[in-house]
Chain A
């Protein structure tokens, strides 16, 4: 076993007084892996440093567009490259009951509460964009070998947070989160969950200590993304 995740596990074992690997049964390696997945998800979701761009075709009269599996959350949407304002569906309803039926150039996007599987454009588009297969990485897309800009293909672009794959072994590579950041902070997110669990491992002071340091990591990532221009 080698790699960043293995190093995180090695330090966890020292912290839990089981150097060399957890064997006492107070906590298992599989349980720690599950907690590692939770902590990783929290760090990526709250930190927002790993984003992706996804562009798909817009179709006349179609308001709802599936969010691809690779996204954990959509943060921004663009129609033909034009920025769309995010609006709660309830606000759209209260402003105009017609938004679900009127066709026009989309100006807003919304997501029904509790679902991340689809976003809705409002008004629904009154045009067909150029046909192309959905593509990752840019607002521009490649159609028949040529790069076509968003003003021409008039497709829908989503920008959002990428979803990590599941960690299933301590020898796995760390999904998405750079190793440097994971080695600095991820272990605290795992330990905090161990120390606030409702069993003999519970230790409120240690949980608080680990949470503070995990939060430092999240605050750092938020700062990286939001630091204003000097």
Chain B
């Protein structure tokens, strides 16, 4: 997988901005690059990890905390076997006395992103539970900070940062640059791990419309 440095990304972003570091200071570029990196990570799950639930399963315990460094839980495994993901209302309606059930954990219900319920509660405890999810991404803080990611994500990140930094421009120049967001949505729709996500729409208002572009 290609490895790029923050300096590489900066150079590519500035190349499309006439290398105007007076209008677009390096620090400004760095901030939007890291913002774009975080968004891409949250949407496509660049940093997916699987980590053990500390302390194994515990007998009769129903509520567990999301283990660090997982930010967004995706799956839970009991002894390597994927548990079924359900919502808490689904669980409590399908298994009316869910809180009395015990046995090997078979399903999990998230309570937000920080906690989850195991069902049934483990009868014995000591089972090896793991959670898979998206973790935070390390920000690029130094010129030689590196990140490894596919070319298509690098291109997406550069395009995002270049248009995003132009938010400070007035009227038509900003409006023209903002259209890159439509292209970004189209690209991310096909790459996102969130298949059911309702993507926003963005379009140009008539008075600043430089080319009659339509919303996505």
Contact = CB atoms under 8 A, between A and B. Distances in A.
B200 A205 contact: no
B contacts with A: majority SS: mixed
A11 B194 contact: no
Interface string B136-163: 1100000000000000000000000000
Interface string A128-154: 000000000111100000010111000
B111 A51 contact: yes
A10 interface: yes
A14 B35 CA distance: 14
Contact of A76 (B86, B88, B181, B201): B88
A100 interface: no
B178 A209 contact: yes
Given A51-B112, A224-B113, A229-B84, A205 B137 contact: no
Interface string A103-147: 000000000000000000000000000000000011110000001
Interface string A45-85: 00011111100000000000000000000001010011100
Contacts of A180: 38, 41-42, 71, 136-137
Contacts of A183: 34-35, 38
B168 A151 contact: no
Contacts of B98: 81
A163 interface: no
B100 interface: yes
Interface residues of A, number: 58
B168 A83 contact: no
Max count, chain A CB within 10 A of own CB: residue among B32, B38, B112: B112
Contacts of A81: 92, 97-100
A206 B174 contact: yes
A10 B28 CA distance: 9
Given A11-B31, A159-B111, A220-B194, A205 B205 contact: yes
A223 interface: yes
Contact of A223 (B86, B174, B178, B194): B194
Given A78-B92, A209-B167, A19 B38 contact: no
A216 B43 CA distance: 10
B29 to A, nearest CB: 10
A178 interface: yes
A187 to B, nearest CB: 8
Contacts of A209: 167, 174, 178, 181, 202
A185 B36 CA distance: 10
Interface in A1-20: 7, 10-11, 14-17, 19
24 contacts: A14-B165, A19-B27, A50-B113, A51-B114, A53-B63, A83-B92, A83-B93, A83-B96, A138-B62, A139-B62, A140-B62, A179-B136, A180-B42, A181-B71, A184-B35, A184-B42, A205-B174, A206-B174, A212-B201, A213-B181, A215-B200, A223-B194, A226-B196, A229-B85
Given A178-B113, A187-B35, A212-B200, 11 more contacts: A10-B27, A14-B25, A78-B92, A140-B99, A179-B136, A205-B205, A211-B200, A216-B199, A220-B42, A224-B72, A226-B87
Question: When A and B form their complex, which 6 residue pairs have the shortest distance between CB atoms, in order from nearest?
Answer: A51-B112, A83-B92, A81-B99, A212-B202, A215-B200, A223-B197
Interface of A: 7, 10-11, 14-17, 19, 48-53, 76, 78, 81-83, 137-140, 147, 149-151, 159, 178-181, 183-185, 187, 191, 204-206, 208-213, 215-216, 219-220, 222-229
Interface of B: 25, 27-28, 31-32, 34-35, 38-39, 41-43, 60, 62-63, 71-72, 84-89, 92-93, 96-100, 110-115, 136-137, 165, 167-168, 171, 174-175, 178, 181, 185, 194-205, 208
